[in-house]
Structure 1
Amino acid sequence: MESTARYVSVFVLLILQTLFFYTDRTAAQNGSIEINNTDFLNFSLKAISTTVPFPPWLRAITGLTEWPDANPPYISDGVNLTDIFDGPYYEQVNACDNAFMNCVFDCNNCVGPDDILQCKELVQTFDDGPSDATPRLLNFFNQIQKKVSFFVIGIQVLMFPDIFRQEHANGHFLGLHTYNHPYLPGLTNQQIAAQFQWTIWVMNATAGVVPRYFRPPYGGLDNRVRTIASRYGLTPIVWQWDSNDWRTVNESRTAQDVYTDVTNWKQAGDTGIILEHDFQGSLVDIGIRVSSILGNVSTVVSANCKDPSAPWYR
């Protein structure tokens, strides 16, 4: 009975979102971004400026009138979290201390039975966008008629809504990458839920999509995170190959290092999901070159992995 009520509640929320989306959507332009360049991966430092309207259906659900900043509040939405043990909390440096019985991906690559890790080809996936550099990536893929996968951050979607809509219009796979890129195992159950809630709502209000897949920032995925995600209809997609392209930003790795790794993976006949990023121009350059190394591979993560027939969105 409790399970039925929960799914009815979620279904009602989705109906409200769908009804209001097409009547409330207005033309929008890209927002602005401010970031501390000494911590380019800390998305909580960003000051949000957006033209995405806060829709009436979301006002009805949340009682709020504007998008939250770096700390999205948890909204009671009928999804039961009370039966999920709230803890342990830990940061990434302590991940391996909590690996036993928790199946922590970023410690020992432990994957749950529903996690998506492997594909039949080497597949490009991009995290942390959209950004003002993403259109160049989209133009390149459009020219060669290639589809890839983007795992988007909620506040990035708010700041670059037109780019997010273009990703969707071009037929790329769109997954959830949380609202502001926290390490999820360090959060409470309600804080984790809020990351899922608000990113789902942003994606729906901006392009009318409700995601079925997510990628945890930093690979911060354990059984508690998996359980909460499943309550929101989200399946984890992780990766088998980490390009570590982001390290080229702080010059602890070179672009050539990335190309050498990808070339070796391809020559060895390896398959699987490659982790890349599109939050700045130099990483887009790397992504374009990696695509050229891989050749004519146009596979999105859900289309050639566990269930090729599974829909991307709800």
Structure 2
Amino acid sequence: MPQWLKDLTGRKFWPDETPPYIDMSIDFSDVPVVNMRLYGDCALPPGTCAFECNQCFRPGDIVSCKSLSQSFDDGPTSQTVHLLDHLESTGQKATFFIPGTSAVKFPHLVRREYDQGHVVGLHTWSHPFLPSLSNEAIAAQMQWSIWAINATIGKVPKYFRPPFAGMDDRVRAIVKKFNVDLVLWDRDTFDWRLNLADSGETNELSVLESIEMWRNQNGGGLILQHDSSSKLVKLSIKASKLIGPKGQLTVDKCYKGGRPYQ
């Protein structure tokens, strides 16, 4: 942990999976009242916008891209180096949404992502389902993720993607206090299921067939993939080859006026 962060937080070491909220006078008085809930609980007040429940998003949320483009969550891991080698060889750029704990564990890979011209985004500190947390705990997840990335690349990301698509109006209001833009997706590969013992109907072929279909539609889209295991990195490289070396964009180039860092 850098000295400036020790001075700011009064702590000597990075936190565990449950980071402490550091009081910075955040005003929670205007945060909508939505009950804390577990993943899968979609019993919401009428009019509540919750992406993981009803694919609802608000004006200003980034959901798609004008060109079919990959984005990656949950890395880096030791396997991400192979994906970066591939992207470097083709000249392709991508957007990586990184938990703070991963940035602390693999800072050299986060710096390489940044140095290669990829966009580094926020993905909380420890990857919880944010609607299950208190207001202060959500803020703590944002604080420590920002500090981890800033300590690694010297920048504060502008883009944030919620783990498990956990985004409702309460979470959105708190997250937006950190001056970030929310990035969701409209092309879900469900590749994370391949890390499970039972992946159901999702397999490598089904993922690649979906990507080929999206490519042939020529309608653009923002693809959600993961670089959290060797299996998923290999699949991501195959998907990259299928899309081709031209046309993929980082999130900031998906729309007019985008900028990746604050």
TM-score (norm 2): 0.95
Offset from partner CA, 1:262-281 (integer Å, 9 cap, x none): 11112223321110000111
Instruction: Please report how far the alpha carbon of residue 171 of structure 1 lies from its aligned counterpart in structure 2 after TM superposition.
Output: 0.7
Aligned position for 2:248: 298
Q: Secondary structure at the match of 2:96?
A: strand
Matched-pair identity in %: 38
In the alignment, the residues of structure 1 paired with residue 22 and residue 137 of structure 2 have an alpha-carbon distance, to the nearest angstrom, of: 10
In the alignment, the residues of structure 2 paired with residue 311 and residue 240 of structure 1 have an alpha-carbon distance, to the nearest angstrom, of: 20
Gaps of 5+ in 1: 1-53
In the alignment, the residues of structure 2 paired with residue 168 and residue 183 of structure 1 have an alpha-carbon distance, to the nearest angstrom, of: 26
Instruction: Please report how far the alpha carbon of residue 83 of structure 1 lies from its aligned counterpart in structure 2 after TM superposition.
Output: 3.1
- The question of 1:128 aligning with 2:74 is answered yes
- Structure showing greater radius of gyration is 1
Q: Which deviates the most, 261-270 or 277-286? A: 261-270
Aligned position for 2:17: 70
Instruction: Please report how far the alpha carbon of residue 284 of structure 1 lies from its aligned counterpart in structure 2 after TM superposition.
Output: 0.6
**Do 2:32 and 2:169's aligned partners in 1 also have CA atoms closer than 8 Å?**
no
Aligned position for 2:208: 259
Letter in 2 for 1:312: P
Aligned position for 2:89: 143
Aligned position for 1:27: none
In the alignment, the residues of structure 1 paired with residue 151 and residue 187 of structure 2 have an alpha-carbon distance, to the nearest angstrom, of: 32
Aligned position for 1:277: 226
In the alignment, the residues of structure 1 paired with residue 152 and residue 45 of structure 2 have an alpha-carbon distance, to the nearest angstrom, of: 37
**Do 1:61 and 1:77's aligned partners in 2 also have CA atoms closer than 8 Å?**
no
Instruction: Please report how far the alpha carbon of residue 213 of structure 1 lies from its aligned counterpart in structure 2 after TM superposition.
Output: 1.0
Aligned position for 1:157: 103
Instruction: Please report how far the alpha carbon of residue 176 of structure 1 lies from its aligned counterpart in structure 2 after TM superposition.
Output: 0.3
- The question of 1:190 aligning with 2:140 is answered no
Residue in structure 1 matching 2:126, options 177, 180, 183: 180
In the alignment, the residues of structure 2 paired with residue 212 and residue 171 of structure 1 have an alpha-carbon distance, to the nearest angstrom, of: 15
Structure number with greater CO (CA < 8 Å, separation at least 6) is: 2
- The question of 1:311 aligning with 2:259 is answered yes
1:135 and 1:157, CA in 2 relative to 1: closer, same or farther beyond 3 A?
A: same
Instruction: Please report how far the alpha carbon of residue 229 of structure 1 lies from its aligned counterpart in structure 2 after TM superposition.
Output: 1.1
Instruction: Tell me the matched-pair count.
Output: 258
In the alignment, the residues of structure 2 paired with residue 71 and residue 237 of structure 1 have an alpha-carbon distance, to the nearest angstrom, of: 24
Residue in structure 2 matching 1:288, options 237, 240, 243: 237
Instruction: Please report how far the alpha carbon of residue 84 of structure 1 lies from its aligned counterpart in structure 2 after TM superposition.
Output: 2.0
Instruction: Please report how far the alpha carbon of residue 99 of structure 1 lies from its aligned counterpart in structure 2 after TM superposition.
Output: 6.1
Instruction: Please report how far the alpha carbon of residue 162 of structure 1 lies from its aligned counterpart in structure 2 after TM superposition.
Output: 0.5
Q: Secondary structure at the match of 2:74?
A: strand
Residue in structure 2 matching 1:220, options 150, 163, 166: 166
Letter in 1 for 2:240: S
In the alignment, the residues of structure 1 paired with residue 232 and residue 140 of structure 2 have an alpha-carbon distance, to the nearest angstrom, of: 29
Letter in 2 for 1:263: E
Aligned position for 1:34: none
Aligned position for 1:88: 35
Gaps of 5+ in 2: none
Q: Secondary structure at the match of 1:262?
A: helix
TM-score (norm 1): 0.80
Aligned position for 1:105: 51
In the alignment, the residues of structure 1 paired with residue 176 and residue 74 of structure 2 have an alpha-carbon distance, to the nearest angstrom, of: 22
Offset from partner CA, 1:62-108 (integer Å, 9 cap, x none): 1111100110000111322233245411112112x116322000111
Letter in 1 for 2:24: D
Q: Secondary structure at the match of 1:276?
A: strand
Aligned position for 2:176: 230
Q: Which deviates the most, 295-304 or 130-139? A: 295-304
1:99 and 1:169, CA in 2 relative to 1: closer, same or farther beyond 3 A?
A: farther
- The question of 1:268 aligning with 2:190 is answered no
Instruction: Please report how far the alpha carbon of residue 118 of structure 1 lies from its aligned counterpart in structure 2 after TM superposition.
Output: 1.7
